Chains A and B, each alone.
Chain A
Amino acid sequence: MSFLKESLNKYKLEFLMLLPVCLYLTGFLVIIFYYLISLSLTYVAPDYAETFPSLRNYFFIFHSPEFKTAFLNSLLFVIVGTPLELAAGLVLALLIYRNFRFRGIVRSIFIVPLAVPAMVTAIILLVLFEYPSGHINNILLGRHWFFPEVIAVPVNWRDSAFFALGVSLLGKVWRDMPISMLILLAGLNSITLDQYLAAETMGAGSRQKFRYITLPLLLPSISTVLIIRSIEMWKEFIFPYFLARRYHLMGTFIETLYHDWNKQGEAAAVSVILVFCIIGFSAFLFWFLKRVRVGLISI
């Protein structure tokens, strides 16, 4: 205890420098936790009578079909979107990995989607995918010279969950692929040439080099991408909000509950559930990827 007091005195200035941030963050965390828990456990009856604590919010949520749809939509969104983002990032990273003259410029070009505000991207997609005569429809209908006719009638992209959420997925992947690219590039760059040469002297051909060196050494980066991007997919709000508000994901469902239906308690409840989903899914993914990594190299 006295040791603590001693060091506090000696490092007074440093302590003061660190304190505000700690207080700030703790403050917000406390606020978030407190209100989430208390709101979700407070049931507001139609006559505005409040009951605390009460699990009725959760009860309603678990029994509501909208929630189940939102949950399923979110799950699908994550399961489809994460590999897509990994693939897009991998393609970009492998393209850049080759040593060519305009490499720096192309890398800057590839970072551009990240620079555009998400909201703007969503609106651009709104315009592009307009029904009945947005550009995408026009192209698919074969109205331009450079593309054949693929469909006979224009598609209403906001008409079904599949299309609407699909377009928002497209926007999200487009916007965030530079992040996956950067992480994967860092991973690719960490594999030294020496290791490939050593493998060659020990008799390894291209396929063996890929399987025993490239893939396992790239796996940490791939894992990082999968985990981080999947968390982002769960959290996604802006794209579905602008492009697919009717077809709820958990995020937009929360917003609807809060703003349109004024059900703060239920909104908080869904928020809590969402947080648990994120933690649970990430833990599962983490465990799964670990098994894969170990399984890849065993004598």
Chain B
Amino acid sequence: MDRSALRVGNALVGNDDTAAALEATLIGPAITFDEPTLIAITGGDLDPTLDGQPAPMWRAFSVPRGATLRFGRPKLGCRAYVAVAGGIDVPLIFGSRSTYLRAQFGGHEGRALRVGDVLRTENPPHLSDHIGQAVRTGHDDGAVAVASWSAGHALRVRYSSEPVVRLIAGAHAELLAAPSRTKLFSAAFSISSSSDRMGYRLEGVELPLRNPVELLSEGVAFGTMQLPPDGMPIVLMADRQTTGGYPRIGEVASVDLPLVAQLKPGDRLRFRPVSVDEAQQAYVMHEQDLAQARVAIALRHPRAKEAQS
């Protein structure tokens, strides 16, 4: 859901963007590591602890064999990501390693994890090995070893339980009655409890159309805001369907999708208008920040390059 946090986590442990990580929503798992493992926790702050001590976030660290990672109550946001060096060994389906619960495929047996599951990692890339060696230098085998560097502020989305989210006006925004258009960009919406990975239902503000319309189904995007006949908008999220037939009144700027992905039922958000151009500038800037961070991590661990050549 929070693609930015997932990718930053992978970068911190030296993985490619496509490596599988764990997504923990609201209530995190307890994970015992059978091998010393380089990991990073990013995304929402679910109060992670390692053997009872606070665990770092946005920073790579080496977990000793036998240690247990736990999560507490959500302090900020609701989804934490645990990236492990090498990534979790799950099949690549349609170019993705994610779990699609609705159709029960992808990820670990197409389902959410259960107590007792054992996950394996893939062979870590050389860069991960070198980060791990550098982090562990000067530490005992049985100790937690934390990297001296961390993800910069440009890579950490400023999560909030009441964010202002940039929205690009959609193809059918002009079908909104005038008061609806005003409300769309001024009122506070709250996240309904019937929200899931497919879509976030927004409550509290109804946005009537000028007239009912019948549309042909067509493609939708991550962040498309649909308006069903009841006037309560739905923002389509990671597990969205490929097509939809409801009016599309907006698309959330991609760079702000993590802000939405970290909201939980009851949280509120507002929208402010943005152009496609501005949204793309912000997006490309975030991509450049991430690319620069990857370069910086590789430069810091130069032996990785020798090993690859």
A binds B: no
A-side residues, CB < 8 A to B, are none
